Structures are given as C-alpha cells and as structure tokens.
C-alpha cells in the first residue's frame, strides 16, 4: 500500500487536532474528488514500518485527539489488508484515549455486507476498532461547503462507538 500524505496537525478531518493519513488507491473515482491524484494505487510513498512508527509517534502528545484515515480509499480491499495490523497496533498503544475516524466512499451497509467486494476478512476487525466512519461517495451535485466533516449532503457521520 502507498500513501499520499500525512498531516500531523489536522483540524479539518474529524473532531479535535488529529493525525491524518491519506492512503493511495481508490476505484470510486468520484467526479470532483478533492484528492484525485491519490486515486492511483501507486501514487505517493510506500507505507512501511517506519511510516507506522512516525504516525504513532505523532499521535503521542496529549493534545492530539486521534487518527483519521482517508484517501484515496482506506476501505479498498488491498488497503484494508495493510491497514488492519497497523490499526490493531494503534489501539494497543492508545486504547480508547485516541479516536479513529475513517472516511470512505462506501456505505457502512456495503462494508458490512459479506457478499460485497468491499467486505474482506479484516473489515469487521477494522470497524470494531473505529469510533467514527464518514461514509458514502462524494457527489458533486450535492456538494455543500457548510457541512462539517463531509463534502456532500449524502455522506453520513456514523458514530460506531459512544452512541449514534
């Protein structure tokens, strides 16, 4: 898996100050995508053990609220396979003291549907580690800059932990 960028002080992609990992690779190819270059799976840099260490270190300060995954598409099946062990290490290190937000062009229903191409052997594990999922494809015709933490009105902010 490759990643496009890491933001170590992000306030736009989830509650509080966050570390955001923009993964590469997306087959949704939404019209008007804000990060179109990250749709290519080979864009950016390889996600290595050193990258993981860098992110975990950036998450350590008490003012950092958590980790956000976006892209690209974190829930692409090949990305899920690489992210699942990293997210387990994230939870082992921080427990519930840091939150995990995932932005995906899939709906939560697609991810939970075992017959969907988006559901893999690690999807349920990833979802169990996730606090908030922002789901649904970006729809340019429904773009609304007044929405907090999402780009179009069809997208949902779903709290998987701590209530809906």
For each of the domains in the chain, give its residue range(s) and CATH number, in order of start.
2-159 (3.20.20.70)
Confidence (pLDDT) at 74? 97
pLDDT digits (tens, 9 = 90+) for 123-160: 999 999 999 999 999 999 999 999 999 999 999 999 99
- Let me know: does 143 contact 152? Beta carbons within 8 Å: yes
Confidence (pLDDT) at 37? 83
- Let me know: does 20 contact 35? Beta carbons within 8 Å: no
Helices (H) and strands (E) in the chain, counts: 4, 7
- The residues near 128 (Cβ < 8 Å, ≥ 6 apart) are none
Confidence (pLDDT) at 161? 84
| Res 164 pLDDT > 50 | no
pLDDT digits (tens, 9 = 90+) for 21-30: 999 999 887 7
- The residues near 135 (Cβ < 8 Å, ≥ 6 apart) are 104, 105, 106, 107, 108, 111, 155, 156, 158
| Res 98 pLDDT > 60 | yes
């Amino acid at each position: 898996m490759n990643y496009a960028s890491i933001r170590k002080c992000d306030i736009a992609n989830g509650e509080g100050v966050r570390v955001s990992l923009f993964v590469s690779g997306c087959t949704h190819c939404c019209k008007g995508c804000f990060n179109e270059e990250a749709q290519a799976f080979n864009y950016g840099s390889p996600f290595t053990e050193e990258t993981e260490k860098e992110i975990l270190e950036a998450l350590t300060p008490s003012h950092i609220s958590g980790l956000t995954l976006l892209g690209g598409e974190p829930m692409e099946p090949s990305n899920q396979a690489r992210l699942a062990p990293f997210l387990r290490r994230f939870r082992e290190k921080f427990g519930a003291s840091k939150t995990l937000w995932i932005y995906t062009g899939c709906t939560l229903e697609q991810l939970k549907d075992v017959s969907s191409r988006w559901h893999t052997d690690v999807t349920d594990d990833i979802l169990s580690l996730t606090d908030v999922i922002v789901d649904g494809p970006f729809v340019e015709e429904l773009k609304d800059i007044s929405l907090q933490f999402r780009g179009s009105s069809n997208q949902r902010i779903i709290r998987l932990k701590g209530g809906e």
